[in-house]
Structure formats: C-alpha cells, structure tokens
Chain A
C-alpha cells in the first residue's frame, strides 16, 4: 500500500536557524497538509495546499512558515528563525481528491527539536 514518507525522522537545530521538513505524498493525491503536535498536546492543523497554492492556513502558520512543492513529488515545510516553541512532531498528510470525505493519509512525522 502506498505511503506518505517524511524525512528526516528527527531534526535537531539551533534556535534561530532555518529548517526544511520534507514529505513525499502518495503519488496520485492532490491535497496536501501539514500538522504539528507539541508534546502532550493535540494534533493541530497548520496549512493545506492544492493546485500549487495554499488553500487554507491556521493562525499558527505565520510569516515564519512557508510551504512549497518544488518538483511535483516533494512537499516541503520551511521554518525560518526557529524558536524553542517550534519543537514538536510535524506530520505531513495527503488526500486523493474532493467529492466526498476522502481520508487523509499521514506520514510517520518528523520530530523537530530546537535547542
């Protein structure tokens, strides 16, 4: 069964540095998402992406964050000037198409640790 893959599995970065989290969605999926989960808290929506543009973003997703689909297969989340509070698990998800409650398929996540 095809899967969403995320790299790296764990990223350790100094505060103030930039990080790029990478995701390869399932190949025939059209909708892409990033979520994060701070330790001990719920999974929170960050951003959704469709047709090469952001379709919705949460209040968490400020100018520090950006997403890109650079080559038709990868879907990246860039976090600039990282802060301690950015430490969390970041999950990528993809969904096939609209026209009904298609489920989102999640990757294993990237654990981001900001020192």
Chain B
C-alpha cells in the first residue's frame, strides 16, 4: 500500500533550535518525495523534492531508502518557519498520473 506517515501533529521549538520533521513512507516502487509547506492562510507551496538534493530556506531532506524515511531538517529554526508542513509521495501509474499522496502534516511552531 502507498502511505505517508508524519507521526507528529505538532512540533514546538524555540528560535535557534534544530528542527526535524519526520516522514516515513510505504511504497513498492521507486519513490518520488516532496515536502510542501503551507503558511497561514496561504496555498500549499513546494519546499523541497528529493531528487534536487537542494537546500531551501535552510531546510534539507535526505531520502533514506533503508529506513523508508524523508525527514525534513533545519539546524536553526526561525519564527518565520512556523507553518504546516506536509510530506508527499508521488505515485506513478503507467508513468502519467503522478498523483500525490500526502501525510497528515506537522504544524511547526517556533517560539521566540
């Protein structure tokens, strides 16, 4: 079964503290994984995709196929990072569909 699990509904940290938002997936094929962020009253925005291996706004995420994880990390949280974060798996069907399967999301609250 295709599934994305984000075990934490809420993660509260202080400004400057490290952040790790957990994401585990279940997928029989070769996964394509994304992190989307939703700031208050705004649209879902792409933050990272695993194939890019880039750092956006200080965030990084490494695909660990052995642990089937794609955790999102940032060494020093900022107040403006407060948002809802969704991990998503792109599921191919005949190579054309690429629907996204979302986790339940983690609300990151960065305290001053």
Which A residues fall within an 8 A CB radius of B? 4, 31, 33, 35, 41-45, 48, 50, 55-56, 91, 93, 95, 98, 100-109
Known: A41-B104, A103-B49. A91 touches B98 (CB 8 A): no
- By size class, the interface of chain B is 20 to 34
Query: Is B97 positioned at the interface, with any CB of A under 8 Å from its CB?
Result: yes
Interface residues of B (CB under 8 A from A): 32, 34, 36, 42-46, 49-51, 86, 90, 93, 95-105
Which residues of the partner chain B approach A4 to less than 8 Å between Cβ atoms?
Answer: 43
Query: Contact at A48–B103, with CB atoms within 8 Å?
Result: no
Residue of A33, A100, A101, A109 touching B99 (CB-CB under 8 A):
A33
Tell whether, in the assembled complex, residue B101 and residue A45 are in contact, meaning their CB atoms are under 8 Å apart: yes
Which secondary structure dominates chain A's binding surface? strand
Contacts A101-B90, A106-B43: A55 and B96 contacting too (C-beta < 8 A)? yes
Closest to B91 in A: A45
